[in-house]
Amino acid sequence: MNLESHELEELKSKIGREPTSTELQIVAAEWSEHCSYKSSKKHLKMLPMDGPLVIKEKGYDSGVLDVGDGYVITAHIESHNHPSAVEPYGGAATGVGGVIRDILSAGTRPIALLDGLRFGDIEKDQHAKWLFKNAVTGIADYGNCLGIPTVGGEVEFDECYTNYAMVDVAAIGFGKKENLIKNHAKKGDLVVLLGGATGRDGIGGSQFASDSLESEDRSAVQIPDPFIEKLIIEAILEARNEKLIHAMKDLGGGGLSCAVSETADSLDIGIEMDVDKVHTRESDMHSDEIMISESQERMLIVTDSEKLIKLQDICKKFRIDCSVIGHVTFDNKMHVKKSGKTIANISTDIVANATLLDLPSKKPIYLENIENTKSFPLLSDYSEVMLILLASPNIASKIWVYGQYDHEVGIRTVVKPGYDASVLRLDNGKFLSIKIDGNPKQCYINPREGAIGCFEEACRNVVCTGAKPIGMLDHLQFGNPKDPEIFWTFLESLKGLTDFAKDFEIPCIGGKVSLYNETPKGSIKPTPVIGVLGLIDKTPLRIQKINSGDCLIMIGNTKDELGGSEYSEYIHKFIGGKCPVVDFSDSKKNMNAVLEIIKTELIKSAHDCSKGGLAVAVSELCMTNLIGCTVSLENVPGDKLDNDKILFSESHSRYLVTFEKKNLQNLEELLKKHNVSFKTIGEFGGESIQFTADSKPILDLSVDKAQKTWLNSLKEMVMHA
């Protein structure tokens, strides 16, 4: 427990007496950064959170979007970085479990997962490899067992995560609007704890997560049990159908302390509970341990005595425990007893609302010259560079990862992992497109533009499936916020995201802030991860196989923006240069143009240009279709640039569109109408990926060789020491 001395004084003055030991534990858990958002909350308000589709209810842990015809989508994102860095299997697995219960809390069935994973340099670092391998297995074992498909995500490696692990999990839920839990409580209602037994795992987890990772505190990592989680999901949904639930909250960070105080605070009630009533895994647990244990697979439910009988029957059917641990009062206090004696009695308002901080910020010194550009020696042949990039851990195919995740269960997955964004079919005939994106390399060089870039990239990805972005999830991951330079990068990213969200009218429907992501070597790079949800009213783009003679149009300008690119950092080991900047007006025009040409069914596929630039994006098309392509660099839209910049710059707002030649004229007319910058840059055919400059080949790589390298590289890195 780590209440700071001034916080202890504050607590004493608020309650007018010495706190009991249980109260201290409860407050320390709830006032931790992890539970209270005390450093960030003031600023998060700047994000637009309302929109025509957003449904708001009190006490929800997930965002809710109305997708029409009486149906809703729920979405949430969480991370489990600290636990995964210590125990990657359990940390990653319980990360999945936690976010799923947030979806369940709203009364919706979880239908999809996406995960963003980041580790140190797996090519050199055996520890990073171990973390990566076990985190993937942890996610697979948990999600697969639950029957919730893991449909997408991203994997990235960067030295800034050495000895650390970033495990972000986004979950999507779906349900009928009328089945949403309308959190409420009335006097005499009972408070029920349902699910797994409370044990000694995860004691103090939220405080652990609110500190730099210096010692490995394994007891703070929770133990996963996906089987119980699956039973809880089915039991809760059955109870929801029977309308047995007045209010519900998942037990996550801070355990019972947090769930009880936040439920009471959000419903404007009090809760009286007895720790002796909690079903525990061990018989000799101290009451303080019971209050702050973060054992997984538990839900807090408010119901009444009549409905309780039915709820108990459902629990019996699924053989899960449920204990009546207390009841609703109207004194707005969290009153905890043990054997009839009071051990904590404190206003929920005090517990649930830590004093918010307004931390100082200062532009980091390192940013002063970082965007100075550096020219790399120009080559006459980039084939070898290309092959190295395709084999590099950040660009290589992630099939080794998503092949271990059941991405088909639930039979909704229309567009499977490995494409720009994943698409799920919904029961009302519409489709949901989802993607998460992060880019710490660019965010390090320019926290504002980098964060906007992540947001735009996720939008591009869903746009490529034919979906209009309707909501955003933000996960803001930074180092120690008490360092003014780090806090400045947090604020810059947040401001950037806010500007983009407002301009594009994409509401932030949920998010999470994770601070103190530090190792003894220092802070991680700023790592905002942005999830975008898009809706398709009619049909998603049916990706068709590219054949010989098909053409390639590029939409969007390529600029002198090699900063934070894979080419710059992986090939030249250079951190710096001009960070790609999103031009809001071009971005919007390009998105609308792509959405319209998808509707016209004139194209075979749309693919965004991002990591590795144009060269990698074209190669991906060739490798997934097993066909060659010839691209002339002088046709690439944008200023006249050096060849390496055209090939590898990671400028935003760019799309590659493939189509049958006969549709060229119609496409050109449409694109002209949208006033976007575009040009036909290549034609498919043959067996090699070719780029020419002034009619001379500067890159020529066999598709077969490229594809084998790209597909197998990551697996080989993991399997062979």
Partner 1 sequence: MNVGVVVFPGSNCDRDMFHVLSDVFNLNAHYCWHAKPLPENLDAVVLPGGFSYGDRLRAGVIAAHSPIIQDIKKISEKGIPILGVCNGFQILVESGLLPGVLLKNDSLNFMCEWTNLTVENNKTPFTNQFELNQKIPIPIANGEGRYFVDDETLDQLERKNQIVFKYDQVVNGSSNQIAGVCNDDGNIVGMMPHPERAVESEINPHDNKPSSLIFESLLKKMGVNN
Find the shortest distance in angstroms from Cβ 626 to partner 1.
15
Find the shortest distance in angstroms from Cβ 597 to partner 1.
22
Find the shortest distance in angstroms from Cβ 411 to partner 1.
5
Q: How far is CA 364 from CA 56, 370, 490, 521, in A?
A: 37, 11, 11, 17
Rule CB under 8 A: say whether 132 interacts with partner 1.
no
> Do residues 477 and 117 make contact, with C-beta atoms less than 8 angstroms apart?
no
Q: Look up residue 638 and give its DSSP letter.
A: B
Rule CB under 8 A: say whether 227 interacts with partner 1.
yes
Partners of 332 in beta bridges: none
Owner of token pair 């010194």: 365
Name the amino acid, one letter, at 255.
G
> Do residues 699 and 576 make contact, with C-beta atoms less than 8 angstroms apart?
no
Rule CB under 8 A: say whether 14 interacts with partner 1.
no
Which of 415, 507, 421 minimizes the C-alpha distance to 462? 421
The yes-or-no answer on residue 80 being catalytic is yes
Nearest CB to partner 1, comparing residues 225 and 250: 225
Rule CB under 8 A: say whether 175 interacts with partner 1.
no
Nearest CB to partner 1, comparing residues 114 and 351: 114
CA distance linking residue 371 with residue 284, whole number of Å: 59
Q: Strands (DSSP E) along 251-387, which ranges?
A: 270-274, 298-303, 322-329, 333-338, 341-347
Residue 14: phi and psi, rounded to 5, are -70, -35
Nearest CB to partner 1, comparing residues 387 and 464: 464
Q: How far is CA 2 from CA 32, 39, 83, 491, in A?
A: 8, 16, 18, 26
Which of 631, 605, 637 minimizes the C-alpha distance to 684? 631
Find the shortest distance in angstroms from Cβ 150 to partner 1.
9
Nearest CB to partner 1, comparing residues 54 and 145: 145
Which of 273, 97, 287, 69 minimizes the C-alpha distance to 177? 69
Find the shortest distance in angstroms from Cβ 406 to partner 1.
4
Rule CB under 8 A: say whether 188 interacts with partner 1.
no
Owner of token pair 């806010």: 498
Using CB under 8 A as the binding rule, the residues of this chain from 661 to 680 that contact partner 1 are none
Rule CB under 8 A: say whether 225 interacts with partner 1.
yes
Helix (H) or strand (E) holding 450: helix 447-463
Nearest CB to partner 1, comparing residues 3 and 415: 415
Nearest CB to partner 1, comparing residues 94 and 651: 94
CA distance linking residue 41 with residue 358, whole number of Å: 9
Rule CB under 8 A: say whether 317 interacts with partner 1.
yes
Rule CB under 8 A: say whether 231 interacts with partner 1.
yes
- Binding test (CB under 8 A) with partner 1, winner from 177, 425, 588, 705: 425
Find the shortest distance in angstroms from Cβ 334 to partner 1.
34
- What is the DSSP pairing of strand 63-68 with strand 71-79? antiparallel
Nearest CB to partner 1, comparing residues 195 and 511: 195
Which string of x and - marks every residue 385-424 that binds partner 1 (by CB under 8 A)? -----------------xxxxxxxxxxxxx-x--------
Rule CB under 8 A: say whether 226 interacts with partner 1.
yes
Rule CB under 8 A: say whether 241 interacts with partner 1.
no
Nearest CB to partner 1, comparing residues 153 and 226: 226
Joined tokens for residue 611: 């990591």
Partners of 170 in beta bridges: 77, 114
User: Coil, strand, or helix at residue 235?
Assistant: helix
Q: Strands (DSSP E) along 221-321, which ranges?
A: 247-250, 270-274, 298-303
Rule CB under 8 A: say whether 147 interacts with partner 1.
yes
Owner of token pair 């997984």: 296
- Binding test (CB under 8 A) with partner 1, winner from 319, 341, 640, 720: 319
Percentages of the chain per state (helix, strand, coil), in multiples of 5: 40, 25, 35
Stretch that binds partner 1, among 214-222, 252-260, 289-297, 315-323 (CB under 8 A): 315-323
Find the shortest distance in angstroms from Cβ 199 to partner 1.
17
Stretch that binds partner 1, among 83-91, 153-161, 225-233, 436-444 (CB under 8 A): 225-233
Which of 352, 219, 244, 261 minimizes the C-alpha distance to 305? 244
Q: How far is CA 544 from CA 226, 614, 662, in A?
A: 37, 21, 15
CA distance linking residue 441 with residue 199, whole number of Å: 40
Find the shortest distance in angstroms from Cβ 230 to partner 1.
6
Which string of x and - marks every residue 463-492 that binds partner 1 (by CB under 8 A)? ------------------------------
Rule CB under 8 A: say whether 429 interacts with partner 1.
no
Rule CB under 8 A: say whether 90 interacts with partner 1.
no
Among positive and negative, which fits the CA dihedral 220, 224, 228, 229? Answer: positive
Residues 6+ apart with CB under 8 A from 140: 150, 404, 405, 406
Owner of token pair 């050109």: 668
- What is the DSSP pairing of strand 413-415 with strand 655-659? unpaired
Rule CB under 8 A: say whether 230 interacts with partner 1.
yes
Find the shortest distance in angstroms from Cβ 462 to partner 1.
18
Name the amino acid, one letter, at 27.
V
Rule CB under 8 A: say whether 145 interacts with partner 1.
yes
Which of 194, 191, 192, 220 minimizes the C-alpha distance to 206? 220
How many other CB atoms sit within 10 Å of the CB of residue 16?
Answer: 6
Nearest CB to partner 1, comparing residues 403 and 484: 403
Partners of 345 in beta bridges: 335
Q: Please tell me which residue in 6, 43, 76, 80 is annotated as part of the active site.
A: 80
CA distance linking residue 148 with residue 112, whole number of Å: 6
Q: Please tell me which residue in 34, 76, 327, 652 is annotated as part of the active site.
A: 34
Stretch that binds partner 1, among 16-24, 76-84, 226-234, 559-567 (CB under 8 A): 226-234
CA distance linking residue 68 with residue 72, whole number of Å: 7
| Chain centre to alpha carbon of residue 654 | 23
- Binding test (CB under 8 A) with partner 1, winner from 7, 10, 141, 660: 141
Find the shortest distance in angstroms from Cβ 144 to partner 1.
6
> Do residues 574 and 372 make contact, with C-beta atoms less than 8 angstroms apart?
no
Find the shortest distance in angstroms from Cβ 430 to partner 1.
13
Stretch that binds partner 1, among 83-91, 143-151, 158-166, 190-198 (CB under 8 A): 143-151
Stretch that binds partner 1, among 138-146, 193-201, 326-334, 577-585 (CB under 8 A): 138-146
CA distance linking residue 421 with residue 35, whole number of Å: 31
Applying CB under 8 A, the site for partner 1 has a residue count of 30
The yes-or-no answer on residue 246 being catalytic is no
What is the binding site for partner 1 (CB under 8 A)? 137, 140-141, 144-147, 225-227, 230-231, 317-319, 402-414, 416, 425
Catalytic residue set: 34, 80
